[in-house]
Amino acid sequence: MNRFAELLDRLAYEPGRNNKLRLITAYFSETPDPDRGYALAALTGTLSFKHAKAGVIRDLIAERTDPTLFALSYDYVGDLSETVALMWPSSPLPAGERSAKAAGLEPGEGDQSARRDDTPSPAAPTRIDLSPAGRGENIVAVAARRHNNPPPPTLTEVVATLRTLGKAELPAQLARWLDELDETGRWALLKLVTGGMRIGVSARLAKTAAAALGNKDAHDVELIWPGLAPPYLDLFAWLEGRADKPINRDPAPFRPVMLAHAIEDADFSTLDAADFAAEWKWDGIRIQAVSGRDDRGHIATRLYSRTGEDITRSFPDLVPSLHLPGAIDGELLVVRGGRVQSFNVLQQRLNRKAVTPKLMKEFPIHLRAYDLLADGDNDLRELPFTERRVRLETFVAALDDPRIDLSPQVPFATWDELAAARADPTSAGAGTDAEAVEGVMLKRRDGPYLPGRPKGPWWKWKRDPHVIDAVLMYAQRGHGKRSSYYSDYTFGVWTNADGAEQLVPVGKAYFGFTDEELLQIDRFVRRNTTETFGPVRHVVHEPDQGLVLEIAFEGLQRSARHKSGIAMRFPRISRLRWDKPPREADRLDALERMLTSETAAGGY
Amino acid sequence: MRPQDLLTPMSAGLCCKPGGFHIDPVRPVERAVITHGHSDHARPGHGTVLATQETLDLMRLRYGDNFAGSMQALRYGESIRLGEVTVTFHPAGHVLGAAQVAVTQGGLRIVASGDYKDVRDPTCTPFEVVPCDVFITEATFGLPVFRHADAAAEVEKLLSSAALFPERAHLVGAYSLGKAQRVIALIREAGYDSPIYLHGAMEAITDYYVSRGIALGDLRPVRGMAKADLAGTITLAPPSATSDLWTRRFPDPLTAFASGWMRVRARARQRGVELPLVISDHADWDGLTRTVAATGAGEIWVTHGQEDALVHWCATQGLTARPLALVGYGDEDSEDDSAAPSASDAS
């Protein structure tokens, strides 16, 4: 548990993806089975413990600490798990760490010099005996008693015990572990049992780190993942070259998805319009819907996100529609009254703990299919796109279900014709669904279905992003290679509040600028800071003084968490407007107007 | 005599009227008794300064030869008569030369402990418990969430990170007086014998530690090093420098920070620290409460830091306690003592 706790601790502070990977891979290579397998399960979100709730933890700490001290501490720390981890009473003193001289000495008896050979050697076991010198009613003898403590639990013990433990036994067991672990161990334990890790590691990243152990690609792990279960002994045996690749016996496995490159103006001159088919690019969630027959001949159905995460539980209403064996690549949308809804509406169905009948009725889910990767037992991925499209049309017709339809193709003969369709999807066939179109997809007619993002066969050609001029308000330092640069920017637009013109923050951007522009902004920030709050610099933003940033973004939505009431999707800095005085930057009203005709980034 | 007549909190600091001196005054006074060399406790411009030899030397390094009208050194365990009182120094275990000041008159003894810690530190004399009637304690880490880890284990984290990321430069933010030298000594104890690089602001103080017989191994200035040659190295710098333009000379720097504040995640994240090292030169909660109890004092005065929780705890132990509300003392880790040297040597 301690090594796992150390890993979580490190990951929680490490901002860089590659460094996170290194940390996780190093952990997998150092940690024996089955601990590392349970760690992989924890990082991929495969573990959940139903009885462990915050209330249990509050009760435990309330029995052990002074309520005033707890309140002061919780107020300072701001996180329950962390406060409990830090405050949990235990006094196993590190051997040799406490000063041997911490004993009552009469004046004059003390050490006469400041030479360092007076310090106890680090190896010397120290027992502190605070003998009362005269009047010591309050003296509590504290003895180093680390050697009397049972060893801390292993991760495997924790997982195995939690799986079988009844609700009534949980508090006492948690308390025993908390007694045995150190601060970091306690924090990690509490994060593990309550399920909220929040250390910035996706399941995909954890699998990529595991794959790296055997110099394999994450796709190889994704392919067999659905057939694996914690503690993944067969997976690690294969990655370390000790066994054959585990066979995915899953009847409905995930297949690594194919992604598209963004097309640039210059690309068109090298491409022949006749080689490509076009479809609308939908502003939904990319999904792979897979059905297959299990050993007993029953249909098993799974829905996967583009990274291979199983999201079936979030969309139970779609499962019955997928009654034929096959693997569809498509877009998850909400369709109400025959009309595709915007991404903002779809978002109401995402990341819900409970999928209620009301939610399913209010936000009816729909699958718009654009590719077929398997038909029955036949893998179609080697076939050219046009052949797969024909198979897809037949397959969707056979499903014959109102929840599943085909993503229509956009006819065009020249790039100019396609450009016209992209500019006006409503009259180019998308009709009332145009609101959920965020561009067009180009697919080579002769292209096979390849995992990853191969350059050439698939292109995405998004509609032009929204652009506003905003004023730089605050800047914060980045991490790693950017650690000394002010590279995170909060920007705002004008509004009239309480009768006065003022800037209200509408978003934050971290990229979009060149290295040279970063240097320029950094210099501007350093020279124009009016106040600092910890790592945040308040940058001058007056009507005549300040820096205007042209911000490109993909969409807007209402947000109660933002002071402006608006949150931006995918904002980035597209240009520095040194030429523009801040007073001429955009106003909040402009964003309010955009909110109604709203589109945003999607699944490719 | 009442304790508050022996030592009285005044705007300039704690004043001993019968002895005619102030302890760690924040404004120039005629006679000052200084507990240790950190700049919030040791300020220039006093008429006479009484301190340990090390504290006097460190003040000279910081402020120049004429930092006070006259200086007088007192050793640990030695007593001196000032006016109507006796002043005795005892080791505080905080940094090199740090002393607790015991003030005695008649049968009454008050100990002003300055900043202290009761855990091992290879670079200074260990803390001593001094029995007294009134104990004046700091409360920098006066909340039960502050329980400092085993410093050796924290240094082990640093060394394993350096081994895992050999192409990155590890920058360790550490206060230039005391913390930096302690971290270096702990790194050496862990068996790391490669050169350790120093920010310009730490060189003089570190040299002084070495001159006092504290072995710190191969130390080199980071100034003038080629960027590529700093991959895989460890550099110590004042905390503020680790988020400064100065870091651009390092390849893919990884920022560590050695401080008791690193115990709380939000504090580490606010500073953009990637590798927090919980190493403190102040007593943690357990150390504060253990020491308060061990002095046998019936009355506790709490100075700078999180006074509320410690005063509350004292009350639950049946001790009389009150916050002194002295102003001008802070946490040295948040002190920005490096801005000038780092900006000027950004070449």
> What does the pLDDT read at residue A135?
33
Helix (H) or strand (E) holding A529: strand A529-533
Exposure of A199 in the CB half-sphere (CA atoms within 13 A)? 31
Residue A462 in contact with residue A262, Cβ under 8 Å?
A: yes
Q: By CA distance, what is A133's nearest residue in B?
A: B131
* Pairing mode, strands A500-509 and A486-497: antiparallel
> What does the pLDDT read at residue A186?
93
Q: Dig out the tokens for A200 from the structure.
A: 């910035």
A480 touches chain B (CB under 8 A): yes
Q: Mean pLDDT over residues A133-158, rounded? A: 55
> What does the pLDDT read at residue B149?
82
Q: Dig out the tokens for A95 from the structure.
A: 């051997």
Which residues between 294 and 313 in chain B have a beta carbon less than 8 angstroms from any beta carbon of chain A? 294, 296, 298, 306, 308-309, 312-313
**Position with higher pLDDT, A424 vs B80:** B80
Q: Dig out the tokens for A323 from the structure.
A: 């009654």
Q: By CA distance, what is A16's nearest residue in B?
A: B274
Residue A137 burial (10 A CB sphere; 0-12, 13-18, 19+)? exposed
> What does the pLDDT read at residue B339?
30
- Say if the Cβ atoms of A102 and B128 lie within 8 Å: yes
| Residues of chain B found within 8 Å of residue A107, distances taken between Cβ atoms | 77, 79, 88, 90, 102, 104, 109, 130
**Probe site for chain B from A75, A82, A98, A184 (most B CB atoms < 10 A):** A98
Q: Please name the member of B54, B255, B317 whose beta carbon is closest to the beta carbon of A114.
A: B54
> What does the pLDDT read at residue A103?
39
Q: By CA distance, what is B267's nearest residue in A?
A: A77
**Position with higher pLDDT, A174 vs A196:** A174
Q: Dig out the tokens for B146 from the structure.
A: 């502050």
- Say if the Cβ atoms of B317 and A138 lie within 8 Å: yes
Q: Please name the member of B143, B189, B317 whose beta carbon is closest to the beta carbon of A72.
A: B143
> What does the pLDDT read at residue A130?
37
- Distance from C-alpha of A49 to C-alpha of A57, rounded to nearest angstrom: 14
Residue A348 has pLDDT above 60, yes or no: yes
- Distance from C-alpha of A133 to C-alpha of A309, rounded to nearest angstrom: 65
- Distance from C-alpha of A42 to C-alpha of A190, rounded to nearest angstrom: 13
> What does the pLDDT read at residue A295?
81
The contacts of residue A526 (CB under 8 Å, 6+ apart) are: A486
> What does the pLDDT read at residue A370?
97
> What does the pLDDT read at residue B332?
57
> What does the pLDDT read at residue A474?
94
| Residues of chain B found within 8 Å of residue A10, distances taken between Cβ atoms | 161, 275
Instruction: Please tell me whether residue A56 adopts helix, strand or coil conformation.
Output: helix
Q: What is the 3-state secondary structure (H, E, C) of chain B?
A: CCHHHHCEEECCEEEECCCCEEECCCCCCCEEECCCCCCCCCCCCEEEEEECHHHHHHHHHHHCCCCEEEEEECCECCEEEECCEEEEEEECCCCCCCEEEEEEECCEEEEECCCCCCECCCCCCCCCECCCCEEEEEECCCCCCCCCCCHHHHHHHHHHHHHHCCCCCEEEECCCCCHHHHHHHHHHHCCCCCCEEECHHHHHHHHHHHHCCCCCCCEEECCCCCHHHHCCCEEEECHHHHHCHHHHHCCCCEEEEECHHHHCHHHHHHCCCCEEECCCCCCCHHHHHHHHHHHCCCEEEEEEECHHHHHHHHHHCCCEEEECCCCCCCCHHHCCCCHHHHHHCCC
- B124-167 pLDDT, tens digit per residue, is 999 999 999 999 999 999 999 999 989 999 999 999 999 989 99
> What does the pLDDT read at residue B344?
30
> What does the pLDDT read at residue A104?
39
Give CA separation, A388 vs A369, A374, A398, B158, in Å: 12, 9, 15, 54
- Say if the Cβ atoms of B164 and A101 lie within 8 Å: no
- Say if the Cβ atoms of B296 and A72 lie within 8 Å: no
- Say if the Cβ atoms of A72 and B309 lie within 8 Å: yes
Instruction: Please tell me whether residue A516 adopts helix, strand or coil conformation.
Output: helix
Confidence of residue B335 (pLDDT cuts 50, 70, 90): very low
**Of A110-119, A308-317, B336-345, which range is least confident?**
B336-345
| Residues of chain B found within 8 Å of residue A67, distances taken between Cβ atoms | none
> What does the pLDDT read at residue B296?
96
> What does the pLDDT read at residue B331?
55
Q: By CA distance, what is A523's nearest residue in B?
A: B245
For tokens 């640990």, the residue is B76
Confidence of residue A577 (pLDDT cuts 50, 70, 90): confident
Q: Before A231, cis peptide (omega within 30)?
A: yes
Question: Hey, what's the torsion of the CAs at B25, B27, B30, B36, to 10 degrees?
Answer: 30
- Distance from C-alpha of A214 to C-alpha of A551, rounded to nearest angstrom: 42
| Residues of chain B found within 8 Å of residue A181, distances taken between Cβ atoms | none
> What does the pLDDT read at residue B271?
79
**Of A69-83, A188-202, A283-297, B274-288, which range is least confident?**
A188-202
The CA R_g of chain A, rounded to the nearest whole Å, is: 30
> What does the pLDDT read at residue A111?
41
- Say if the Cβ atoms of B120 and A105 lie within 8 Å: no
- Distance from C-alpha of A105 to C-alpha of B294, rounded to nearest angstrom: 11
For tokens 């981890």, the residue is A85
Arithmetic mean of pLDDT over chain A: 84
Name the β-bridge partners of A299. A293
Q: By CA distance, what is A108's nearest residue in B?
A: B77
Confidence of residue A142 (pLDDT cuts 50, 70, 90): very low
- Residue B181 sits at φ, ψ, to 5 deg, of -70, -35
> What does the pLDDT read at residue B205?
96
> What does the pLDDT read at residue B141?
94
Question: Which of B118, B154, B164, B151 has its CA nearest to residue B285?
Answer: B118
In percent, how much of chain A has pLDDT > 70? 87
Among A391-395, A558-562, B11-15, B339-343, top mean pLDDT goes to A391-395
**Smallest CA–CA separation between B289 and chain A, in Å?**
10
In percent, how much of chain B has pLDDT > 90? 83
A94 touches chain B (CB under 8 A): yes
Q: Dig out the tokens for B56 from the structure.
A: 């006097």
Q: Dig out the tokens for A84 from the structure.
A: 């409990």
| Residues of chain B found within 8 Å of residue A96, distances taken between Cβ atoms | 120
Residue A117 has pLDDT above 50, yes or no: no
Q: Mean pLDDT over residues A133-141, rounded? A: 32
| Residues of chain A found within 8 Å of residue B123, distances taken between Cβ atoms | 116
* Pairing mode, strands B299-305 and B320-323: parallel
Residue A110 has pLDDT above 80, yes or no: no
Q: By CA distance, what is B294's nearest residue in A?
A: A139
**Of A110-124, A189-203, A230-244, A354-368, which range is least confident?**
A110-124
Confidence (pTM): 0.68
**Smallest CA–CA separation between B97 and chain A, in Å?**
7
**Smallest CA–CA separation between A397 and chain B, in Å?**
54
- Say if the Cβ atoms of B144 and A69 lie within 8 Å: yes
| Residues of chain A found within 8 Å of residue B53, distances taken between Cβ atoms | 114
Q: State the alpha helices, DSSP H only, in A54-122.
A: 54-62, 67-77, 80-87
- A394-437 pLDDT, tens digit per residue, is 999 999 999 999 999 999 999 999 999 998 898 888 888 888 89
> What does the pLDDT read at residue A77?
84
With vertex at residue B178, the alpha carbon angle to CA B172 and CA B181, rounded to the nearest 5 degrees, is 55
Which residues between 175 and 194 in chain A have a beta carbon less than 8 angstroms from any beta carbon of chain B? 182-183
Confidence of residue A119 (pLDDT cuts 50, 70, 90): very low
Arithmetic mean of pLDDT over chain B: 91
Residue B337 has pLDDT above 60, yes or no: no
| Residues of chain A found within 8 Å of residue B243, distances taken between Cβ atoms | 477, 483-484, 535
Confidence of residue A125 (pLDDT cuts 50, 70, 90): very low
**Position with higher pLDDT, A200 vs A503:** A503
Which residues between 298 and 357 in chain A have a beta carbon less than 8 angstroms from any beta carbon of chain B? none
- Distance from C-alpha of A8 to C-alpha of A197, rounded to nearest angstrom: 8
* Pairing mode, strands A529-533 and A536-539: antiparallel
Q: Dig out the tokens for A380 from the structure.
A: 């179609």
Residue B62 has pLDDT above 90, yes or no: yes
| Residues of chain A found within 8 Å of residue B104, distances taken between Cβ atoms | 107
Confidence of residue A283 (pLDDT cuts 50, 70, 90): confident
B36 residue type, one letter: H
B286 touches chain A (CB under 8 A): yes
Q: By CA distance, what is B98's nearest residue in A?
A: A114
Residue A63 burial (10 A CB sphere; 0-12, 13-18, 19+)? exposed
Which residues between 38 and 97 in chain B have a beta carbon less than 8 angstroms from any beta carbon of chain A? 52-54, 75-79, 88, 90-91, 93, 96-97
Q: Please name the member of B131, B244, B313 whose beta carbon is closest to the beta carbon of A484.
A: B244
> What does the pLDDT read at residue A149?
61
**Position with higher pLDDT, A494 vs A533:** A494
Confidence of residue A123 (pLDDT cuts 50, 70, 90): very low
**Smallest CA–CA separation between A68 and chain B, in Å?**
8
For tokens 């100075």, the residue is B303
| Residues of chain B found within 8 Å of residue A209, distances taken between Cβ atoms | none
Q: By CA distance, what is B96's nearest residue in A?
A: A114
The CA R_g of chain B, rounded to the nearest whole Å, is: 20
Residue B256 in contact with residue B233, Cβ under 8 Å?
A: no
A103 touches chain B (CB under 8 A): yes
- Say if the Cβ atoms of A138 and B118 lie within 8 Å: no
Residue B92 in contact with residue B127, Cβ under 8 Å?
A: yes
Sign of CA dihedral A273, A276, A278, A284: negative
- A46-92 pLDDT, tens digit per residue, is 887 877 778 889 999 999 999 999 998 988 887 888 999 999 987 44
Q: By CA distance, what is A70's nearest residue in B?
A: B144
- Distance from C-alpha of A437 to C-alpha of A435, rounded to nearest angstrom: 6
Beta strand segments in A391-436, E: 404-406
- Say if the Cβ atoms of A183 and B147 lie within 8 Å: yes
| Residues of chain B found within 8 Å of residue A6, distances taken between Cβ atoms | 157
Confidence of residue B330 (pLDDT cuts 50, 70, 90): low
**Of A307-316, A339-348, B325-334, which range is least confident?**
B325-334
A135 touches chain B (CB under 8 A): yes
- Distance from C-alpha of B33 to C-alpha of B63, rounded to nearest angstrom: 17
**Position with higher pLDDT, B282 vs A603:** B282
Confidence of residue A146 (pLDDT cuts 50, 70, 90): very low
**Smallest CA–CA separation between A99 and chain B, in Å?**
5
